[in-house]
Amino acid sequence: MIGRMFPERMIHKALQRYWRYSRGLTLGAQGVVLDRSGNTVLLIRHTYRSGWHFPGGGVERGETAEDAMSRELHEEAGVELQGPPEFFGLYANHVLFPGDHIALFVVRAWHQPQIPPPNREIAEQGFFPLDALPPGTSEPTRNRLEEIMGLRPRAAHWSAP
């Protein structure tokens, strides 16, 4: 299984790099799914990159950023929106890919009728208390949570340039 997954990861990474570098501007959308109390957050761990992150992905042609975020929440975590998400900010993500941006939404009205099993893209998911995030939670994820909680000013960049 691991031997078979390695070439697929390499192909996935190569295609992703080609896609991003072949366009002048790319847009991703991520959702910060908070429980009703606002004390726990949904994070996912991918199979192809380390750490814990918000669910999300690229905005496809003909799709709005909100539609993409909603689709990714459903695909990656089985989360369905029950109300409009709050657009929180647009971040430049030029550290990894020139011209990349991430639209961030806060999701408070949702339900999760079914948790999808791990697959080729998502290794695991879970809800974590904001004051006890899992080891390996990415720095941008931690920073965005602090911004949402009002503990730091909003940044212009997803990651430090």
Q: Hey, where are the domains in the chain? A: 2-148
How many Å apart are CA 49 and CA 38, to the nearest integer?
Answer: 27
What pLDDT does residue 99 have?
A: 87
Say which CATH superfamily domain 2-148 falls into.
Nucleoside Triphosphate Pyrophosphohydrolase (3.90.79.10)
Number of Cβ within 10 Å of residue 106's Cβ equals 17
What pLDDT does residue 1 have?
A: 45
pTM for the structure as a whole:
0.84
Residue 128: which of 48, 31, 44, 29 has the closest Cα? Answer: 44
Could you list the pLDDT tens digit for every one of the 161 residues in the chain? 444 555 677 776 777 666 656 657 889 999 999 999 999 999 999 999 999 999 999 999 999 999 999 999 999 999 999 999 999 999 999 887 788 999 999 999 999 999 999 999 999 999 999 999 999 999 999 999 999 999 999 999 999 76
Torsion of CA 50, 138, 129, 36, to 10 degrees: -100
What pLDDT does residue 25 have?
A: 85
DSSP string, 105-135: EEE-SEE-S-PPPP-SSEEEEEEEETTSPPT
Do 56 and 30 meet the contact criterion of CB atoms below 8 Å apart? yes
What pLDDT does residue 118 have?
A: 93
